[in-house]
Amino acid sequence: MAGMLEDNREKTRKQAWFLSLAGFIPFGVIAIILFIVGSSHPLFEATLDIFKVWSVIILSFLGGIRWGFAISNQPFEITNLWLSVAGSILAWFALLLPDTYALLVLLVLFCAHGAWDSFYINAGKAPPWFGSIRITLTFLVAAAHILVVLAIAGL
Is residue 147 in some structural domain? yes
Q: What pLDDT is recorded for position 33?
A: 97
Is residue 6 in some structural domain? no
Asked if 70 and 77 count as a contact pair (C-beta separation under 8 A), the reply is: yes
Per residue in 36-46, pLDDT (tens digit) is: 999 999 999 99
Q: What is the rounded end-to-end Cα distance, in angstroms, of the chain?
A: 57
Q: 10 Å Cβ neighbour count for 70?
A: 20
Is residue 3 in some structural domain? no
Domain that holds residue 84: 19-153
**0.85 exceeded by the pTM?**
yes
Is residue 7 in some structural domain? no
Q: What pLDDT is recorded for position 1?
A: 63
Number of structural domains in the chain: 1
Per residue in 54-106, pLDDT (tens digit) is: 999 999 999 999 898 888 877 777 888 898 999 999 999 999 999 999 999 99
| pLDDT over threshold 90, residue 17 | yes
**CA nearest to 110, candidates 132, 130, 90, 131:** 90
Q: What pLDDT is recorded for position 43?
A: 96
Is residue 1 in some structural domain? no
Is residue 51 in some structural domain? yes
Q: Which of residues 126 and 147 earns the better pLDDT score?
A: 147
Is residue 28 in some structural domain? yes
